[in-house]
Structure 1
Amino acid sequence: MALGQKRNQPVVTGASKALDQLKYEVASELGISTPQDGYWGTMATRDTGAIGGHITRKLVALAEQQLAGRS
């Protein structure tokens, strides 16, 4: 995807760095070697999907914990 077509912007400014760090953390937890050049386009869809799925699970769990603490 060309840089001009990127539409997914984090709602919280500065969150993109934390999300990028989480991506690398999850990849290492799953035993998936991350690309040295930073380009994820050559990786298998199955691997990148697994990373995205685990990120989503972690973020949902974090949100549930925060919501449970409010009530």
Structure 2
Amino acid sequence: MARSNTLVVQQAKAALDQMKYEVAQELGVPLSPSGYNGNLATRDAGSIGGNITKRLVQIAEQSLGGYKR
């Protein structure tokens, strides 16, 4: 079974990681520079993920521009 979080564009990983740290900083959630965040509260992780999703949707909408169904 394929993992659902596999990146289609592998080069996007750095941009997504950068976005994760930016969102966490804006929310006041400290992330470990080592990459291990096992002590992170579920609520905080969800807030970070939700905000990243919002940003990605906004980026997609902007890139589609005048596209209408």
Q: Is TM (by shorter chain) over 0.5?
A: yes
Match for residue 39 of structure 1?
36
**Bigger helix fraction:** 1
Normalising by structure 2, we get a TM-score of 0.82
* Unaligned segments of structure 1, at least 5 residues: 1-6
**Which residue is 1:62 aligned to?**
59
TM-score (norm. length: structure 1): 0.80
Q: Structure 2: give runs of 5+ residues left out of the alignment.
A: none
Q: Percent identity?
A: 57
Query: What CA RMSD, in Å, does the superposition of the two structures yield over aligned residues?
Result: 1.5
- The list of structure 1 runs, each at least 4 consecutive aligned residues, that deviate by more than 4 angstroms after superposition, is none
